[in-house]
Amino acid sequence: MLVSSLSYAQNVPSEHEEIQQLVQQINALQERVRVLESLKSDNPTSSVDGTAQTVSSPTVQTAQTDAPPGPIPEALHELHGIQWRGYGEADYKVLNQRTPELGTNGFVPGSSGSFYTGDFDLLLTARISDKASVLSEIDFGERDAQKFEVDLGRILLKYDYNDHLRMSFGRYQTGIGYYNTAFHHGSWLQTTADRPLIMEFADDGGLLPTQAVGLSLTGTIPSGKLGLNYIAEYGSSDTVRPELNGNVVEDENNGNHVNVGLFARPDSIPGLQIGGSIYHDQISDFARGPSVRLGQTIVNGHIVYVRHGIEFLNEGFLIRHVYEQTSTVFNMPAFYSQISKQFGRVRPFFRYQYINANPSSLFEDVNLRYGPSFGARYDFNDFIAFKAQLDQSLRKGQPDLDALHFQLAFTF
Amino acid sequence: MRTKLIVGWVAIFLAVLAGLSSAAAQTGRVAVVVNEKNPVNNLSSSDLRKLFAGEKHAWAGGVPVKIFVRAPGANERVVVLKLLGMSETEYKRYWAGQVYRGDAQAEPVGLFSNGMQREAVVLYPGAVALVSVQDVKLGMKVVKVDGHLPAEAGYPF
């Protein structure tokens, strides 16, 4: 009896397993039929075309045969043509003041709360060959009076020579630190409802040159278990930055920049990334004179851990402005720290950010500001997330700015 | 008499339980398979994690890596998620991020059967997949992980 019980348990799958297997087989067969039908409709003369025959005929062979199968349609595994993916959001934000700040997108002056759609983002990718591909990101951003601006966020021709040398030509997001390389316009990808102010896009009032046109190289450095990677960029960021109060738009008139970075992803702690970068260019300060130029150096250091449902992001910055022909130097530190943990569908988060910009510098509108944000993200499914976030910003010389932000972020 | 009966039933229950767990252990074993022409014979757990995380884009000879995974619900899929330390939702979001950053063109295709995985591994020189041990067939090359084959002690999956 023991033997028979043992034998039965080993040989007969449970009803649930059996149903699962059958469902999987049906799905596989349906997929094969779909592929065959698409091939037939694409090429009705396949029976007289030798190439098409070699592609289509093996698809009918069963997976159970022991002989090695011939070539199967690449449509089964490969993605051809242009791949689209969209990211959108709908927001509602309430402030404790009636004056707008660009960091609070779409805010209507005179009102303490407003709805806005933020960024609607289309990501297009296409593979040209095994090593070459194209990526473009088209962003529709809401501006005043529900007008939308179209921005080509990224357009990149990418060529991956090998793991040590991966090249991108075109418009990219500068590799200053971690956040700007990990998160782009699509709010659905990020845990919080907005970006930390130091990492805000320059055209939304952010301090850093977040986008540039040029050449970007990245890859791994042979370093054993240390897992070193590099990033090197040369291009022009040519940033036009509106002040946070929206009254003045500053054209920084950037010269070409150089940005180099190094980061480690040690084998011993999967999910950990430690690194830094140094960015340098020259910009204008038109407020001081039409020909006043200054050297801008941005140093970043970051420690990030993202694994097992935990997201722990920490980045520090030092923005150094050195005016030519004078001895004026501004050193402006900033940092943010963000932690979150997934519990089922809910991910509570906490963020603290700090920026200490010199009031005599280009960032006089930012000045000293710091404060916490906390809230939660709820994922309805793999495509829709709802976020609720409470912010407090303490500002030097101005009243505290409090905000309640709701966001419905989605991808499709 | 009654005690013997109880002991007998407990023994049967334990035997069935042992049989079930043994069967589960057998079906749980997965092998790392690559294309027959791939010269790689051994991968470290770390290499494997980097491969399935899309961090390693090419094999030593320069052949582009092609990752194949099973669709959600399959045991092989569970092993991939465990290897990466992610839930299914996190996995989806991770790959959306990889595509968004331009580090990958698409999330790895989720195949519905090991037969399809086998066809993919045979077709693509740079293919890598996880397949249940009993479904390893001709045309697949089983790679050691940390120096161990699936049946050996110390094998991680």
CB contact, 8 Å: A372 with chain B? no
Verify that A67 and A99 share a domain, yes or no.
no
Please give the C-alpha separations between residue A107 and each of A102, A114, A222, B128, in angstroms, as whole numbers: 8, 6, 49, 50
Number of structural domains chain A divides into? 2
Nearest to B55 by CA among B2, B97, B118: B97
Give residue A45's pLDDT: 38
Distance from CA of B2 to the nearest CA of A (A): 19
Q: Which residues of B touch A411 (CB under 8 A)?
A: 96
Verify that A318 and A300 share a domain, yes or no.
yes
* B21 contact partners, CB below 8 Å, separation of at least 6: none
Asked whether residue B114 is assigned to any structural domain, the reply reads yes
Asked whether residue B33 is assigned to any structural domain, the reply reads yes
Number of structural domains chain B divides into? 1
Verify that A101 and A37 share a domain, yes or no.
no
The count of CB pairs under 8 A between chains A and B is: 144
Q: Do A9 and B16 touch (CB under 8 A)?
A: yes
Give residue B23's pLDDT: 42
| Measured distance CA(B71)–CA(B87) in Å, rounded | 14
- Nearest Cα residue in chain B from A181: B101
Q: Is the pLDDT of residue B118 over 70?
A: yes
| Measured distance CA(B24)–CA(B35) in Å, rounded | 28
ipTM of the complex: 0.74
Taking all residues of chain A, what is their mean pLDDT, rounded to a whole number? Answer: 82
What's the angle, vertex CA A217, arms to CA A214 and CA A220, rounded to 5?
165
Asked whether residue B118 is assigned to any structural domain, the reply reads yes
Verify that A207 and A98 share a domain, yes or no.
yes
Give residue A334's pLDDT: 97
Range of the domain at B70: 29-145
- Domain boundary (A50, A76, A102) is at A76
Verify that A248 and A198 share a domain, yes or no.
yes
Q: Is the pLDDT of residue B52 over 90?
A: yes
Q: What is the H or E stretch that residue B79 is in?
A: helix B75-84
Distance from CA of B128 to the nearest CA of A (A): 13
- Domain boundary (A36, A53, A76) is at A76
Verify that A235 and A121 share a domain, yes or no.
yes
In A29-188 the beta strands, taken as DSSP E runs, fall at: 82-95, 113-116, 119-127, 132-142, 148-162, 165-173
Give residue A7's pLDDT: 42
Asked whether residue B110 is assigned to any structural domain, the reply reads yes
Q: Is the pLDDT of residue A217 over 70?
A: yes
Give the best residue of B89, B100, B137 to mutate against chain A (max A CB count within 10 A): B100
CB contact, 8 Å: A25 with chain B? yes
Q: Which residues of A touch B114 (CB under 8 A)?
A: 63
Nearest to B113 among A24, A83, A267 (CB): A24
Verify that A318 and A375 share a domain, yes or no.
yes
Verify that A92 and A108 share a domain, yes or no.
yes
Verify that A57 and A94 share a domain, yes or no.
no
Q: Is the pLDDT of residue A1 over 50?
A: no
Q: Do B90 and A342 touch (CB under 8 A)?
A: yes
Span A399-403, average pLDDT: 88
Asked whether residue B5 is assigned to any structural domain, the reply reads no
CA torsion sign, A46 to A48 to A51 to A56? positive
Q: Which residues of B touch A62 (CB under 8 A)?
A: 115
Tens digit of each residue's pLDDT (9 = 90 or more) over B11-40: 655 554 444 444 444 446 899 999 999 999
Verify that A385 and A252 share a domain, yes or no.
yes
Q: Do A72 and B16 touch (CB under 8 A)?
A: no
Helix (H, G, I), strand (E, B) or coil at A263: strand
Q: Which residues of A289-302 are buried (b: 16+ CB within 10 A; e: fewer)?
A: eeebbbebebbbbb
Give residue A178's pLDDT: 94
Q: Do A162 and B89 touch (CB under 8 A)?
A: no
Please give the C-alpha separations between residue A119 and each of A139, A148, A182, A355, B152, in angstroms, as whole numbers: 6, 9, 17, 25, 53
Range of the domain at A59: 2-76
Asked whether residue B7 is assigned to any structural domain, the reply reads no
CB contact, 8 Å: A27 with chain B? yes
Which carries the bigger pLDDT value, residue A341 or residue A71? A341
| Measured distance CA(A198)–CA(A189) in Å, rounded | 18
Give residue A228's pLDDT: 96
pLDDT band at A379 (very low <50, low <70, confident <90, very high): very high
Interface of A with B in 86-145 (CB under 8 A): 123, 125, 127, 130-131, 133, 135
| Measured distance CA(A252)–CA(A389) in Å, rounded | 32
Q: Do B64 and A267 touch (CB under 8 A)?
A: no
Tens digit of each residue's pLDDT (9 = 90 or more) over B58-109: 888 888 899 999 999 899 999 999 999 998 988 998 999 999 988 888 889 8
Nearest to A160 among B22, B57, B74 (CB): B57
Give residue B36's pLDDT: 93
Q: Do B119 and A69 touch (CB under 8 A)?
A: yes
Q: Which residues of B touch A28 (CB under 8 A)?
A: 111-113, 115-116
Interface of A with B in 327-366 (CB under 8 A): 342, 345
Q: Do A307 and B23 touch (CB under 8 A)?
A: no
* CATH number (domain holding residue A312): 2.40.160.10
Distance from CA of B45 to the nearest CA of A (A): 9
Look up residue A199 and give its amino acid.
Answer: M
Verify that A30 and A113 share a domain, yes or no.
no
Q: Do A71 and B123 touch (CB under 8 A)?
A: yes
Which carries the bigger pLDDT value, residue A338 or residue A58? A338
Tens digit of each residue's pLDDT (9 = 90 or more) over A127-184: 888 889 999 999 998 877 777 889 899 999 999 998 999 999 999 999 998 999 999 8
* CATH number (domain holding residue B126): 3.40.190.10
- Domain boundary (A11, A42, A76) is at A76
User: What is the pTM (predicted TM-score) of this model?
Assistant: 0.78
Nearest to A407 by CA among A386, A379, A392: A386
Tens digit of each residue's pLDDT (9 = 90 or more) over A144-154: 777 788 989 99
Verify that A11 and A147 share a domain, yes or no.
no
| Measured distance CA(A395)–CA(B14) in Å, rounded | 68
Q: Is the pLDDT of residue A6 over 50?
A: no
CB contact, 8 Å: A384 with chain B? no
Asked whether residue B77 is assigned to any structural domain, the reply reads yes
Query: Could you identify the residue written with the tokens 């309430």?
Result: A94
Look up residue A258 and give its amino acid.
Answer: V
- Nearest Cα residue in chain B from A187: B97
